[in-house]
Every structure is written in structure tokens, then in C-alpha cells.
Amino acid sequence: MHDATHASLPSPWVQRWTPLVPSGTPVLDIACGGGRHLRWFARHGHPVTGVDRDPQAVATARGLGEAIEADIEGGPWPLAGRRFGAVVVTHYLWRPLLPTVLDSVAEGGALIYETFAEGNASVGRPARPEFLLRHGELLALCAAPQWRVVAYEDGFLSPPERFVQRIAAVRAPWGTAEGPARHPL
């Protein structure tokens, strides 16, 4: 498959865990690029918001929903106080933002995160440690009692060759008086 075509398709990880997102709830895609995940969630009936620092990417994503141009590494968080039925992050890591990422997920909402991990320097870019998740880092991020990890992977994928870490987690509540929540695998 050509790289441009692959880049426009939603991540298989995101596709697989879309059922965790409560029906009709808003979805935030952080570092949304041209909007491949915004497009996916809009087609599944979700209002979508994307944030990216690249003006061209934001212009492309603007027709899909709310698209915000912001430097989330050097400037203020543009969505302060807002919560979403899902927060999606792929191919992006800025550790100082991780607490904000978690706080942006509404109660009952989902975090779907996938990015490069340690070992990736042996096969390509990114290669700098600050852009690669450490072993178990996403698990540790979602270790608080209000998070229920539904799926987690940390390993090597091909093609293209890359080391990734990914998680799908739901923010409490975990069940009701009628019993535990049922998150389909």
C-alpha cells in the first residue's frame, strides 16, 4: 500500500477500539494531522475536534469538525475544562501533556493511544528517547483506580517496521449496581 494512502486510513488500533467510545459523544484527536481519525469518528456519528500545530493539517481537518491550530507544546492547552467521550492520540508523544490528555477524557469515556516505543531507533525514526515510550509507560499512566485498561500492547510491528506501544482504557465508572460494565473485546 502506498504511504499516502496508508496515512489517510485510520489506525487499525483506533478502529478496533472505537466501540469503547460512548455513542454520539465528542471525540478529540490530539496532533490530528490531516484528520484521518476525525473522519473515521465523524462517520461513526461523533462530533469531532482536532488540534494540531500545522496550519495546513488544520485547514484540511477543518471541514470534518472543530479544528484548532495550537502549539500544545509551547503554548496553553486550547481546550481547558473540556472533556470528551474519547481522546485519541497516534504517533505523538509530549510527556508534559500526558496529565492533560487523561483529564480530557470524560467519565465513562475512552483513551485510545498508540505511538512509537523504545527500540524504534533500531529501525528508523523517531529515534530520540523523548519521542519514544518507555516499556510499560502507558500502563503506568493508566494505573490510577479511575482507569480500566481494556487492551495494551508493547512490541514490534511490520510493515513498516516499527516499535509501538498502545493502550485502550476507559475512565470510571466501572460498572453499576447491576454489575460491571461490559467492554467488548
* Contact call for residues 68 and 11 (beta carbons, < 8 A): no
Q: What is the mean pLDDT of residues 109-137?
A: 96
Class of domain 3-171: alpha beta
pTM for the model stands at 0.92
Q: What is the tally of helices (H) and strands (E) in the chain?
A: 6, 7
Instruction: Kindly list the distances between the CA atom of residue 181 and the CA atoms of 46, 153, 159, 174, in Å, as whole numbers in the listed order.
Output: 21, 22, 35, 6
Q: What is the mean pLDDT of residues 16-41?
A: 97
Instruction: Kindly list the distances between the CA atom of residue 114 and the CA atoms of 56, 74, 90, 136, 176, in Å, as whole numbers in the listed order.
Output: 23, 22, 5, 13, 29
Parse the chain into domains and list their residue ranges.
3-171
pLDDT value for 184 = 76
For 94, counting Cβ atoms within 10 Å of its Cβ (0-12 exposed, 13-18 middle, 19+ buried), the class is middle
Residue 4 confidence (pLDDT) above 50: no
3-state DSSP call for residue 129?
A: helix
Q: What is the pLDDT of residues 57-89, one digit of tens each?
A: 999 999 999 999 999 999 999 999 999 999 999
